[in-house]
Structure 1
Amino acid sequence: MTRMPLDAAALRDALTSARFTVDAVLDRIGEAGQDGLLRNSTVPADRALGPADDALALLVRLFILQQDVPTAALTGVIDVPALTAAGYLRDRGADVSAAIDIRPYGSADDGASGWIVADPTPGLDTLMTPTRPDYVLGVSPASTTLAQITMRRPVERALDLGTGCGVQSLHLARHARRVVATDVNPRALELAALTARINDVAVDLRAGSLYEPVRGERFDLIVSNPPFVMSPPGEDSQRLTYRETNFVGDSLVETLVRGSADHLSPGGSLQLLTNWAILDGPWEDRLREWVPRGCDAWVVERERLDVYAYIEMWLADAGLAGTPRWRPAYDEWLAYFDRLGVQGVGMGWILVTAAGRAEPHLRLETWPHAVAQPVGEVFDRHAAAVDAATMPTAELLASRPRLLDVDQETIGRPGADDPEHIVFRQRTGLRRALKADTALAATLGALDGELAVGQVLAAVAQVLEVDAAELAASVVPALRDALLDQLLLPGR
């Protein structure tokens, strides 16, 4: 059947008229219904809807619960013939079912809202089936995390590499004058185009792998949750395009990082949510070698999985749990990892910035602790934090930094001259902490953005009756750490 073009504006109007929004849906299905869907169970939401057959209830049943809905009931709610002709609804006689998932989407922190189009959620109500190779994943914890870590300063050009359902483009369009989105999967480009059209967002969609569709072009911001899963190479017909390729091990991620310098404008950044192999030797040394010349990098390992947990997670994601293919596939993955020497998998965030420093700043660390999402501002401020932390001492002493969203925790014995422990802890961002002695605590506490560091150190030295030069020598290294960790924000 030849597909007919769909009037996306008419569909948007229909979804709006039915109040098919995040708040309205959550209000109808309740907390139990939402929690059930997170477990891939539709029963709590179905019970919450009860016998309701209003427009909102019908759309929830059709697109979110994946139920057959009477065609007659949808008359006047959505254009069933048009959606069927476009291939997005299936004719079941007196009923229709959804061939796609149209789901309300909202982001409170940047205001990106509307609807996301993807393939229906697999495995609802324990009905596990193998995932189709060209499956287009909807909004996932990974895509949400990428959106939350993405810096959101206004930029001229942004690239959504491996766009999938197009959710990152929806965010990028709010602060980029032009958004280019790429994918190797034709079905992903089709559904991402519908996502963009329904939300009335302009996105330049292009087919191709990695940087091929943007050869010779540069961007102020590149974001990607690439198909990083390190599965054994196989036939294209068996490979899940949204998550894996035939790149060996983590070489796809390496290629993205190494190639970023050719596609970043001066000062531009690449942000990845991805994983990398843990081999013999420090993982930091391997990834440090990937960073292009002239670029800064900040790599944060958020989680470490052993090979067994990693393989089991992705075999279940492929719908192989409980099938005869589970153990043979498991053994194939183990043999592949043995050949590559993979001992574990690091999962986390990569930031590469075309900073153009004579001495690039490379920071690779493990930070598995809780953070206060969104942390996009932390990444946005990273270049300035590096500038402040590495400035010459004379400039540092003349600068006027200030504490940012920090609590001071003091522990000591009653009546003691000095506390035993003083800790400055961030309330936002990565929630880092800095242990301080009395001199450092007094210095940090007085830095309010008005006084220069040198003025504060002179005053603290006078109060503590110590030599000002010696005090500066002991405190300045800690101030550099505080600037890099963004407990202190650079001032004038």
Structure 2
Amino acid sequence: MSTTDLPAPDHSPRLRDALLAADFTADGLLELLGAPAYTALARSETVPALRATRGDSPLETLVRLFLLQRTVPEERARAALPLDEALADGWVVRDAEAVRNGPGEAHTPLGTPSETAEDTAGIRAAVDVRPYSGPEGQDWFIVSDLGCAVGGAAGARGHDAGVVLGVGGASTTLAGLTVRTPVASALDLGTGSGIQALHAAQHATRVTATDLNPRALGFTRLTLALSGAPAAELREGSLYEPVAEETYDLIVSNPPFVISPGARLTYRDGGMGGDDLCRTLVQQAGERLNEGGFAHFLANWQHVDGEEWQERLRSWVPRDCDAWIVQREVQDVTQYAELWLRDSGDHRTDPERQDGPEGPEQYAALYEAWLDEFEARKTRAVGFGWITLRKSGAAQQSIVVEEWPHPVEQPLGETVRAHFERQDYLRTHDDAALLADHFVLAPEVMQEQVGLPGAEDPEHVVLRQNRGMRRATKVDAVGAGFAGVCDGTLSAGRILDAIAQLMGEDPVLLRDRTPQAIRLLVEEGFLEPAAAPL
């Protein structure tokens, strides 16, 4: 595959108008297909959507053409698209394969067209065009290669190393994590089909998108054009090489983070040993960030015998940056190898295939290669998660590394921004300043009492967030009482004095032992300074 076979964006505004006129949008698809077929399509299961698009409306035609990648009759394609321009620009092509076209075909079961139907040449899509809803309800379109939707059972099977995938769970996770404050410049490193550049274009004056794969840059150009977004600066190259002399206010990257033996697929295999690619991206980010700028990465990292994974990641953080690193999942090396062998379509379940390049022996050899690689690196498991840096230049660096496999509420960009604001607050307030300050309980925090039914007092009290990270923390009677009266009226010290009087405790001792607990409640977002809510 090369960039020469990609569509031209010359008439993308007219194509976009036609797609919107047919309601070929995320909302339009949900209404047409219904929730079960819509979610099945997200899993790359097409049968329910095929059954739901038996009619001849423009929307049904577009779904079959671009999402289900079926050949459609030319007259139906012409009713849904500016067909001559779409053909000339290369969005669709004429297909010599016959399609069934006749009265009643749309109303008969799949595979049993009307007896009066006739075979005609048709139109098929040259690229995958997927409706995608922006954070403020924008109607966008992600353009990528055909036949390799993320999450499909066969993955990238049958495609060469330069294949470009569309939007998937990792893409949307990163988009939701990113801090969306207005910035002058943003860098999408390893842009793929361009979803991160598309998001960044909404709040960055200048967007630069880079990729080692020139084909990915072509798809990013198409995604931005078809979505009606400003064009980005497109640069070819590896890691930070294309922007070696530049700095940015925002860096985002969903890199080829898979730890694999070799670099077979450009979109996922970084071509460096172990987790070196992710380490390099993080370590060099500080040089490319402006003061106060954020960098967001999805990453994999090794769990190595004799080494704490938290310390491994701490060593990656640039000296002039704060970091928040969240491990979302851990897989042992066998689970990890099987996941990515399925992704590339290298798994085989057909018992009749006993030999040849696609047989069980080949699969076993590939599996062995993955396990050999992990054994050589003393890797027992692989972690996946988020790495966020902020260039603070602070003398006292803040690095938070935690494991959080629990459900969260996306988008998390504001939660991420507030985390770093809280770190700034805490490192500039010692215990005396903390006790002199005023706090309020964060919105959406609820209190739960846990204990036996009928018991006079609960065994313990839990504070729980219903937004963002959805954290829960156990507090004692003092912590529960303190949080319950934090409305910004009294200082923390005066609240503790009142609690000490009610509980018959020494107020001096209570003031001495409580600041650490208050600090933790602030760090995790349960309490906010009243003077400047975060």
Moved more, 260-269 or 408-417: 408-417
Contact 1:271 1:349 (C-alpha < 8 Å) held by counterparts: yes
Q: Tell me by how many angstroms 1:4 deviates.
A: 5.4
Relative distance call for 1:426 and 1:89 in structure 2 (3 A) is: same
SS at match of 2:370: helix
Rounded Cα–Cα distance in structure 2 between residues aligned with 1:117 and 1:428: 32
Rounded Cα–Cα distance in structure 1 between residues aligned with 2:48 and 2:317: 48
Give the structure 2 partner of residue 399 of structure 1.
437
Q: Tell me by how many angstroms 1:354 deviates.
A: 1.0
Q: Describe the superposition over 1:151-192 as per-residue Cα deviations: whole angstroms up to 9, x where unpaired.
A: 222222211111111111222222222222111111111111
Rounded Cα–Cα distance in structure 2 between residues aligned with 1:4 and 1:381: 42
Give the structure 1 partner of residue 378 of structure 2.
341
Moved more, 21-30 or 110-119: 110-119
Give the structure 1 partner of residue 279 of structure 2.
254
Contact 1:117 1:192 (C-alpha < 8 Å) held by counterparts: yes
Q: Describe the superposition over 1:456-489 as per-residue Cα deviations: whole angstroms up to 9, x where unpaired.
A: 2222223223222211222211111111111112
Give the structure 1 partner of residue 521 of structure 2.
482
Equivalent residue letter for 1:402:
V
Greater Rg, structure 1 or structure 2? 2
Q: Describe the superposition over 1:399-433 as per-residue Cα deviations: whole angstroms up to 9, x where unpaired.
A: 22222221101134678664321111111111111
Relative distance call for 1:125 and 1:338 in structure 2 (3 A) is: closer
Query: For structure 2, which runs of at least 5 residues remain unmatched after alignment?
Result: 97-120, 349-357
1:78 aligns with 2:115: no
Equivalent residue letter for 2:412:
V
Relative distance call for 1:311 and 1:112 in structure 2 (3 A) is: farther
Relative distance call for 1:341 and 1:412 in structure 2 (3 A) is: closer
Contact 2:148 2:165 (C-alpha < 8 Å) held by counterparts: no
Contact 1:32 1:45 (C-alpha < 8 Å) held by counterparts: no
Q: Describe the superposition over 1:106-154 as per-residue Cα deviations: whole angstroms up to 9, x where unpaired.
A: 14x4444311111124387979842321111111011111111112222
1:241 aligns with 2:245: no
1:16 aligns with 2:20: yes
1:304 aligns with 2:342: no
1:469 aligns with 2:508: yes
Identity %: 43
SS at match of 2:490: coil
Rounded Cα–Cα distance in structure 2 between residues aligned with 1:287 and 1:317: 26
Q: Tell me by how many angstroms 1:64 deviates.
A: 0.4
Rounded Cα–Cα distance in structure 1 between residues aligned with 2:90 and 2:365: 36
Equivalent residue letter for 2:436:
A
Q: Describe the superposition over 1:297-344 as per-residue Cα deviations: whole angstroms up to 9, x where unpaired.
A: 111111000111111111111122223242222111111222222211
RMSD, aligned CA: 2.1
Contact 1:6 1:82 (C-alpha < 8 Å) held by counterparts: no
Give the structure 1 partner of residue 183 of structure 2.
155
SS at match of 1:231: coil
Contact 2:156 2:344 (C-alpha < 8 Å) held by counterparts: no
Rounded Cα–Cα distance in structure 1 between residues aligned with 2:227 and 2:439: 41
Rounded Cα–Cα distance in structure 1 between residues aligned with 2:298 and 2:241: 20
Contact 2:154 2:344 (C-alpha < 8 Å) held by counterparts: no
1:273 aligns with 2:277: no
SS at match of 1:92: strand
Equivalent residue letter for 1:276:
W
Equivalent residue letter for 1:166:
G
Give the structure 2 partner of residue 205 of structure 1.
234
Matches within 5 A, 1:326-405: 326-390=363-427, 391-404=429-442, 405=444
Rounded Cα–Cα distance in structure 1 between residues aligned with 2:229 and 2:155: 35
Contact 1:162 1:226 (C-alpha < 8 Å) held by counterparts: yes
Rounded Cα–Cα distance in structure 2 between residues aligned with 1:142 and 1:316: 17
Query: For structure 1, which runs of at least 5 residues remain unmatched after alignment?
Result: none
Equivalent residue letter for 2:49:
A
1:36 aligns with 2:40: yes
Relative distance call for 1:248 and 1:99 in structure 2 (3 A) is: same
Rounded Cα–Cα distance in structure 1 between residues aligned with 2:529 and 2:325: 22
1:446 aligns with 2:485: yes
Relative distance call for 1:180 and 1:126 in structure 2 (3 A) is: closer
TM-score, length-normalised on structure 1?
A: 0.94
Relative distance call for 1:387 and 1:46 in structure 2 (3 A) is: same
Rounded Cα–Cα distance in structure 1 between residues aligned with 2:207 and 2:323: 24
Contact 1:161 1:210 (C-alpha < 8 Å) held by counterparts: yes
Paired residue total? 486
Give the structure 1 partner of residue 256 of structure 2.
227
Q: Tell me by how many angstroms 1:80 deviates.
A: 2.9
**1:90 aligned to which of 85, 88, 93:** 93
Rounded Cα–Cα distance in structure 1 between residues aligned with 2:229 and 2:65: 25
Rounded Cα–Cα distance in structure 1 between residues aligned with 2:136 and 2:418: 17
Contact 1:20 1:56 (C-alpha < 8 Å) held by counterparts: yes
Give the structure 2 partner of residue 294 of structure 1.
320
Equivalent residue letter for 2:297:
L
Rounded Cα–Cα distance in structure 2 between residues aligned with 1:167 and 1:392: 42
Contact 2:22 2:59 (C-alpha < 8 Å) held by counterparts: yes
Give the structure 2 partner of residue 62 of structure 1.
65
Equivalent residue letter for 1:9:
P
SS at match of 2:225: helix
Moved more, 368-377 or 62-71: 368-377
Relative distance call for 1:75 and 1:472 in structure 2 (3 A) is: same
Rounded Cα–Cα distance in structure 1 between residues aligned with 2:73 and 2:438: 67
Contact 2:189 2:239 (C-alpha < 8 Å) held by counterparts: yes
Give the structure 1 partner of residue 340 of structure 2.
314
Rounded Cα–Cα distance in structure 2 between residues aligned with 1:55 and 1:282: 56
SS at match of 1:481: helix
Rounded Cα–Cα distance in structure 2 between residues aligned with 1:176 and 1:5: 22
Q: Tell me by how many angstroms 1:79 deviates.
A: 2.9
Rounded Cα–Cα distance in structure 2 between residues aligned with 1:434 and 1:129: 45
Relative distance call for 1:315 and 1:131 in structure 2 (3 A) is: farther
Give the structure 1 partner of residue 108 of structure 2.
none
SS at match of 2:373: helix
Contact 1:279 1:343 (C-alpha < 8 Å) held by counterparts: yes
Rounded Cα–Cα distance in structure 1 between residues aligned with 2:530 and 2:245: 37
SS at match of 2:262: coil
Contact 2:210 2:237 (C-alpha < 8 Å) held by counterparts: yes
Moved more, 37-46 or 3-12: 3-12
Relative distance call for 1:177 and 1:402 in structure 2 (3 A) is: farther
Moved more, 427-436 or 54-63: 427-436
Contact 1:62 1:68 (C-alpha < 8 Å) held by counterparts: yes
Contact 1:58 1:69 (C-alpha < 8 Å) held by counterparts: yes
